[in-house]
Amino acid sequence: MSQEVLTHEEDGVLIVTINRPEAKNAMTKAAAEGIAAAMDRLDAEDSLRVGILTGAGGTFCSGMDLKGFLRGESPIVEGRGFGGVVQAPPKKPLIAAVEGYALAGGLELMIACDLVVASAGAKFGIPEVKRGLVAAAGGVMMLPDQIPERIALELALTGDFIDAPRAYDLGLINRVVDGPALDGAMALAATIAANGPLAVKVSKQIVKESRGWPMDERYDRQAQLIAPVFVSEDAREGAAAFAEKRKPNWKGK
């Protein structure tokens, strides 16, 4: 894996760090490929329960590397899109830990994550129009799914930034922390990782997919997804652990 992306595992959490602090973690082809490889690992390894995506040096990601763009480089991975994640996020939960700026493609990386923990001083925006570009990696399409359309339009058309308190009020981020965003994200990840992995995975899938299901098919489609969970070893273990007043020993099956 490229040194532009670093990974390490801690208590079932895969921490993925964009490691280009000298360039405000601007996204390159190599970094995108590194993130894609980390997402493959997150989904493939049973010991990993949650992923965290963050940036080195006090910035999450400032967007596409414009120098690379001028050289004709595209920070896109086939099948996964910009940054190796925006078009095909992992099946397991992914948390963005945001310090500093999440701008342009950086914001698009962030909104591809399931949950967001941000430091109090973080800033967010899609300023592509200021450079004659369009936030085409999900910004203009996905942002209106996460915040009111008029606010999404304002961000897309002005290119202006919002701060962490405003982003929290809009529901764009989950938590604002006074300390390091990674610490806050690890606390959230630990809460998730303590739960049944099959149930967590299917719960995410249903939340993400069900809005596109026809109303008269929703419960039938949900039933197909949850049936294996309710007859799993983990479901029995969860009930037994509750009755015996102990922590569950999840097997993921």
Tell me which residues are annotated as active site. Answer: 108, 128
Q: What are the angstrom distances between the C-alpha of 225 and each of 151, 202, 251?
A: 34, 7, 19
CB 203 within 8 A of CB 197: no
In the chain, the DSSP E strands lie at: 5-10, 13-18, 50-55, 76-77, 81-82, 94-98, 101-103, 115-119, 123-125, 162-163, 175-177
Q: In terms of DSSP bridges, do strands 123-125 and 162-163 run parallel, antiparallel, or are they unpaired?
A: antiparallel
Q: What are the angstrom distances between the C-alpha of 193 and each of 43, 96, 131, 200, 245?
A: 14, 16, 41, 9, 19
Q: In terms of DSSP bridges, do strands 50-55 and 94-98 run parallel, antiparallel, or are they unpaired?
A: parallel
Q: What are the angstrom distances between the C-alpha of 245 and each of 190, 198, 241?
A: 20, 21, 6
Hey, is 79 helix, strand or coil?
A: coil
Spatial separation of the C-alpha atoms in residues 126 and 5, rounded to whole Å: 23
